[in-house]
Structure 1
Amino acid sequence: MRKDQPPAQRLYRIGELSSLAGISPRTIDYYTSLGLLLPAKRSTGNYRLYDDETLSRLHRIEQLKAQKFSLEEIREQFAPHNRVAGDEAVNRKLADLQVHLAQLEREVKELEPVLEQLKPRQAKRLYRAITPQTAACVEALLLLLGKSNFM
């Protein structure tokens, strides 16, 4: 192998992927039909072949499901990354950031009723107690949610 060539990536048939991920082949089939997983290619016998990125994605899907995300929400989070071809590490990092942002959004939604009940004086005191970076993050999240009357 030449130094400038990347190492050949391991490809898995559905049964192998199932064993590695600890998920039934039927579930992998279902995720594929929903567009959550995409086969890397087909074998000469027309079997779907999945790569290591698919294994990582399966772990992320299960992690998101454990955090109570619906499969539709998960598919929406993966949609932008399905269109971006490129480096696996970049795709993984983008997906991780998307998960983190979604978790922050959920936490802000949980805080929203508490923030709405604050009196103006309490809100000012809270605002002075947090760092400018935290305030900017909260404001940005509220803007994303379409509610920006906190500050």
Structure 2
Amino acid sequence: MRKNQHAAERLFRIGELSSLAGISPRTIDYYTSMGLLLPAKRSSGNYRLYDEETLTRLRQIEQLKAQKFSLEEIREQFVSHNRVATDEAVNRKLADLQIHLAQLEREVKELEPVIEQLKPRQAKKLYQAITPQTAACVEALLLLLGKSNFM
């Protein structure tokens, strides 16, 4: 089954991948049917074979699920991520940035009602405590979210 593989390329059957990732084979099947995972190839016995990249992707999916992303949101992130670039290092960095930006977006949305309810003096005190770098970062996030004039 593995005669034609290069020594550096390691492929896993679903049971092996399941054990390595700590995820049930049924879940891996489901993720595959959703398009979240793609087998690297099929064996001569028609088994799906997954590569190391799939293991990394499974870990990303579990991390995003822990951050309360739906599977559809995760799939959309992967689809948009794959359109951006083909270089593996750039793709990994972009995926990490997307995860961080999405988490920051969620946190900003959670803070919006709190900030809106501040009294003017409380808001002024809060804004004075914010460093210029933090203020610039918050402003950039709000611009990305389609909002402005935070400060």
Q: TM-score, normalised by structure 1?
A: 0.84
1:48 Cα deviation after fit: 1.9
121-130 or 16-25, which deviates more: 121-130
Corresponding residue for residue 37 of structure 2: 37
1:37 Cα deviation after fit: 0.9
Query: 1:113 is aligned with what amino acid?
Result: P
Q: State whether structure 2 residue 60 is matched by structure 1 residue 68.
A: no
Corresponding residue for residue 3 of structure 1: none
Structure-2 separation of matches of 1:7 and 1:78: 28
Structure-1 separation of matches of 2:116 and 2:145: 14
RMSD: 2.0
Corresponding residue for residue 93 of structure 2: 93
1:116 Cα deviation after fit: 1.1
Structure-2 separation of matches of 1:17 and 1:90: 25
1:43 Cα deviation after fit: 2.3
1:85 Cα deviation after fit: 2.5
C-alpha offsets along residues 110-137 of structure 1, whole Å, 9 cap, x if unaligned? 1000111223443333222211111111
Closer, same or farther: CA 41–85 of 1 in aligned 2, 3 Å: farther
Query: 1:81 is aligned with what amino acid?
Result: H
1:70 Cα deviation after fit: 0.7
Structure-2 separation of matches of 1:45 and 1:81: 32
Decide whether the 8 Å contact of 1:15 with 1:25 is kept in 2. Answer: yes
**Structure 1: where are the runs of 5+ without partners?**
1-5
Runs of at least 4 residues off by over 4 Å = none
Decide whether the 8 Å contact of 1:41 with 1:50 is kept in 2. Answer: yes
Count of aligned positions:
145
Corresponding residue for residue 77 of structure 2: 77
Q: State whether structure 2 residue 131 is matched by structure 1 residue 139.
A: no
Corresponding residue for residue 103 of structure 1: 103
C-alpha offsets along residues 37-56 of structure 1, whole Å, 9 cap, x if unaligned? 11222223332211111101
Corresponding residue for residue 49 of structure 1: 49
Structure-1 separation of matches of 2:102 and 2:34: 20
